[in-house]
Amino acid sequence: MNPSAIVGLILLCSVAASATGQAAEKLYVAPEGKDTNPGTQRAPLATLQRARDVLRERRKTGDLTGGVTVVVKAGSYRLTEPLVFTPQDSGTEQGRIAYVATPPGAAVLVGSVPITGWKPFRNGIYQADLSGVDLRGKRFWQLYYRGQWQILARYPNFDPEHPRSGGFLYMGPVVAKDSKVLLRYKPGKLDPTRWAKPTAVRVHIWPWLNWNRNILPVKSIDAANHVITLARPASYKLIEGNRFFIENALEELDAPGEWFLDEDAKTLYFRPPDGQRPEGRVSVPVLDGLIQFHGDAAKAHFVGHLELRGFRLAETRRHLVELNGAAHCTVAACTIEHCGGTAVSIRSRSHHNRVIGCDIAHVGGSAVIISGTVDWEHKLEGQPAHNLISNNHVHDVGEQGNAWGAIMINPGCGGNCTHDNVISHNLVHDTPRQGITFNGFRNIVEYNHVHHTNQEQSDTGAIGMGSRDIYERGSVVRYNYVHDTGGYNMLKPGVWEYPHYCWGIYLDDYTSGVHVYGNVVVRTYRGGVMVHGGQDNVIENNIIVDGLSQQIQYAPIDHLTSGRTPGHPDKSLWLMTGTKLIGNVFSFDGKKSAWVWGRKWEQILAESDRNLIWPRGGTVRMNLGGVTDGDYWAAWRKLGFDAHSVIADPQFVNPARDDYRLKPTSPAFKLGFKPIPVEKIGPYQSPDRASWPLKDEVQREQHLRYPEGKPAGASDAG
């Protein structure tokens, strides 16, 4: 099935679901209700669990033949157990079961418990006895004050002026080469001898090249040599200058908003940010998850045709919503926030589900992850996934650890493989790493607005793939608006750079067979598109503006380090063949930036032609061996490339206001360029939206270049 047909099918299913989902009857839930009530509007039930069980009982007796809307009235509902739906709770295509908050956004489901009995401790800190609180045998790592996440006692203190780049320590000289557990701290910067319980402390560290964050417990401390030994290895080796901070030491509780849990004494300490006594305002998560759609995918027993709409979901240790063995289910118009892990997880062969119109923010991990939706052994013949992630507003993710992508389709093949999913019309910004990342077969990423990503890490992109498997093909990245992709990394100990080493669209690690079409990519550091290994990728009909280093980058890989290549069991194959660069528009500062950058052109490119190139104020520069600055274009064409391309002003409508539509007189149209439907990019007003208009508020902070202070004699160039 071609990509257009896939999208059409999903939209058709969505329309059909709306048309057939009109409930024949209603069941009511309200905070003032009782679970002994019949569930009428005048005598509502008290809990969603009881509403679910009533429908189960009616189904067993044959009294439930059509669809039902469970109307959940305004109020706060603290769940004592996750709300679990199994196949017996399913609706049908003709009669969906819908749990609907009314008015939208006014029903709040939380997986936390309130903490009461606060008494003054010292220095504005209060304490509470938790011996009578049922924490389900697990400790918590989040605390909420008036519904907002607070800071576990840390050193250095959180820096609100520089939330992404401030408030860190920096590793001293390496203790042992390639060690992932030995962290040397700088004397005078940290004093672990103050801690009464050093092995309770956790270290947040961004190892090696700043690709991700690890949260690791402390095993031991050698104060004489200023070395912390971590109880688990970091993802990569530790090097001088790596940034880190420590948390979970009572001795470091010295700032408003910080808290600490003494597990042995069952005592909670908290310094309220407003200085007020926290009674009635503090909650801590006790549930790992809030809503679970739990089918038996191995037996093809799915939770089906069930809908969750209009809720605010918050305060769990891990997930908020899990679709595990679910089919034709919908999560719509929900505000999803404040959890320790991924907000919405879709896995275990789940298919034809929709996460639409949600506002997802301030979560510990990713906003949405799709994984394992079809078995590897049947990846081409099995049930296509057709999950739709659309019209959502996603920002400020990865606040409790790592988020490789805000919206993810993962993993690639090798265990399970995902395919035929659509990520569309989302607004994604303020992320630690990628905005959207995906692997698998025939997935589509389209009409998304993605900006100010990669605020904490580098070597990444706003939209990226990294399948490490050239079998995974057929995906499309089209009609997205990507800009200001960021990237933050250490140039050398003490010197950091932003933006740094990021691309707009990143086809990493042998990604193959992807069509990058009709995107607008603006103000990226390394380039608009990066192709890192792989085969048969097509970059066509895009508008790429102001890549700071170059506009397109090709980076061949000599040897495959993981994954598979057909006919090459020794993993030895020169990758990156068959790439096409066709009919794109480029505009950039020709004095500061190159057009394309790469090597082994005869192996990389199958075709490069019909491109419009506008090196404002300069010339078309490339890296061609033995060619001087003024001869690049002529030498390039002698290689057989871009015979029909032109160097000309693309005639944007208003580039000063980021309006990169082309005027009717643009010479690009004579080359065959097709207009990009920019008016369709991003979220749109809909009854399925949690809020409108959207507040696209970006943390446009000034990232610190010299976070430990400018070294004597250092220039701005570092």
Summarize pLDDT for 537-596 with one digit per residue, the tens: 999 999 999 999 999 999 887 655 555 554 444 444 556 678 999 999 999 999 999 999
Q: Give the strand pairing for 282-285 and 112-115.
A: antiparallel
3-state secondary structure 470-528: CCCCCCEEECCEEECCCCCEEEECCEEECCCCEEEEEECCCCCCCEEECCEEECCCCEE
Contact 402, 366 (CB under 8 A): no
Q: Decide if 366 is inside a domain.
A: yes
Taking phi first (over 0 means left), then psi (-120 to 50 degrees means alpha), and beta for anything else, what does residue 278 get?
Answer: alpha
Distance (Å, rounded) from C-alpha 411 to C-alpha 468?
Answer: 11
Distance (Å, rounded) from C-alpha 160 to C-alpha 158?
Answer: 6
Give the residue-averaged pLDDT of 666-680. Answer: 98
Residue 348 per-residue DSSP state = T
Distance (Å, rounded) from C-alpha 248 to C-alpha 197?
Answer: 9
Phi, psi of 222 (to 5 degrees): -105, 90
Number of Cβ within a 10 Å radius of residue 693: 8
pLDDT (0 to 100) of residue 577: 79
pLDDT (0 to 100) of residue 373: 61
Q: Decide if 370 is inside a domain.
A: yes
Mean of the per-residue pLDDT values of the chain: 91
pLDDT, tens only, 193-220: 999 999 999 999 999 999 999 999 999 9
Distance (Å, rounded) from C-alpha 431 to C-alpha 449?
Answer: 13
Q: Decide if 339 is inside a domain.
A: yes
Distance (Å, rounded) from C-alpha 165 to C-alpha 717?
Answer: 19
Q: Which domain holds residue 412?
A: 1-111+288-418
Distance (Å, rounded) from C-alpha 505 to C-alpha 489?
Answer: 19
pLDDT (0 to 100) of residue 471: 75
User: Is residue 158 helix, strand or coil?
Assistant: coil
pLDDT, tens only, 117-136: 999 999 999 999 999 999 99
- Residue 681 makes CB contacts below 8 A (sequence gap 6+) with 425, 447, 448, 449, 479, 480, 481, 520
Residue 18 per-residue DSSP state = H
Vertex 191: Cα angle to 189 and 193 (nearest 5): 170
pLDDT at 170 over 60: yes
User: Out of 105-119, 375-389, 543-557, which region has the weakest mean confidence (pLDDT)?
Assistant: 375-389
**pLDDT bracket for residue 626 (50, 70, 90):** confident
Please choose, from the candidates 252, 294, 64, 243, the residue with its C-alpha nearest in 3D space to the C-alpha of residue 153.
Answer: 252
- Residue located via tokens 């009409």: 447
Phi, psi of 422 (to 5 degrees): -130, 130
Domain count, the chain: 1
Measured CA distances, 328 to 42, 290, 309, 349, 369 (Å): 32, 20, 14, 12, 17
pLDDT at 22 over 50: no
Contact 160, 148 (CB under 8 A): no
Give the residue-averaged pLDDT of 686-693. Answer: 97
Contact 258, 273 (CB under 8 A): no
Torsion angle defined by CA atoms of residues 434, 435, 437 and 443, in that order, rounded to the nearest 10 degrees? -160
Measured CA distances, 218 to 172, 180, 221, 555 (Å): 17, 13, 8, 39
- Residue 220 makes CB contacts below 8 A (sequence gap 6+) with 198, 199, 228, 229
- What is the distance of C-alpha 380 from the center of its chain? 27
Instruction: Pull the structure tokens for residue 327.
Output: 């089919």
User: Out of 19-33, 305-319, 637-651, 691-705, which region has the weakest mean confidence (pLDDT)?
Assistant: 19-33
- What is the distance of C-alpha 236 from the center of its chain? 21
Number of Cβ within a 10 Å radius of residue 494: 18
Give the residue-averaged pLDDT of 133-144. Answer: 95
Q: Decide if 314 is inside a domain.
A: yes
Q: Which helix (H) or strand (E) holds 11?
A: helix 3-20
Give the up-direction half-sphere exposure of residue 6: CA atoms within 13 A in the CB hemisphere: 25
pLDDT (0 to 100) of residue 20: 40
Name the percent of the chain lying above pLDDT 90. 80
pLDDT (0 to 100) of residue 563: 54
Contact 449, 463 (CB under 8 A): no
pLDDT (0 to 100) of residue 575: 62
pLDDT (0 to 100) of residue 718: 45
Instruction: Pull the structure tokens for residue 574.
Output: 């020169």
Distance (Å, rounded) from C-alpha 650 to C-alpha 631?
Answer: 23
Give the residue-averaged pLDDT of 472-489. Answer: 95
Q: Decide if 585 is inside a domain.
A: no
- Residue 468 makes CB contacts below 8 A (sequence gap 6+) with 412, 509, 510, 560, 561, 562, 563
pLDDT at 172 over 90: yes
Contact 304, 94 (CB under 8 A): no
**pLDDT bracket for residue 457 (50, 70, 90):** very high
List beta partners, residue 519.
none
Q: Give the strand pairing for 214-222 and 227-230.
A: antiparallel
User: Out of 416-420, 481-485, 620-624, 670-674, which region has the weakest mean confidence (pLDDT)?
Assistant: 416-420
Distance (Å, rounded) from C-alpha 522 to C-alpha 505?
Answer: 11
| Whole-prediction pTM | 0.94
- What is the distance of C-alpha 26 from the center of its chain? 36
Phi, psi of 183 (to 5 degrees): -115, 115
Contact 115, 86 (CB under 8 A): no
Torsion angle defined by CA atoms of residues 127, 132, 138 and 142, in that order, rounded to the nearest 10 degrees? -40
Burial class (CB in 10 A: 0-12, 13-18, 19+), 232: exposed
Phi, psi of 590 (to 5 degrees): -70, -15
Measured CA distances, 611 to 478, 596, 669, 671 (Å): 18, 12, 11, 7
**pLDDT bracket for residue 82 (50, 70, 90):** very high
User: Out of 102-116, 381-395, 497-511, which region has the weakest mean confidence (pLDDT)?
Assistant: 381-395
User: Out of 89-98, 106-115, 521-530, 550-559, which region has the weakest mean confidence (pLDDT)?
Assistant: 550-559
Q: Decide if 318 is inside a domain.
A: yes
Q: Report which of residues 300 and 228 the model is more confident about.
A: 228
Q: Decide if 248 is inside a domain.
A: no
pLDDT (0 to 100) of residue 592: 95
Q: Decide if 608 is inside a domain.
A: no
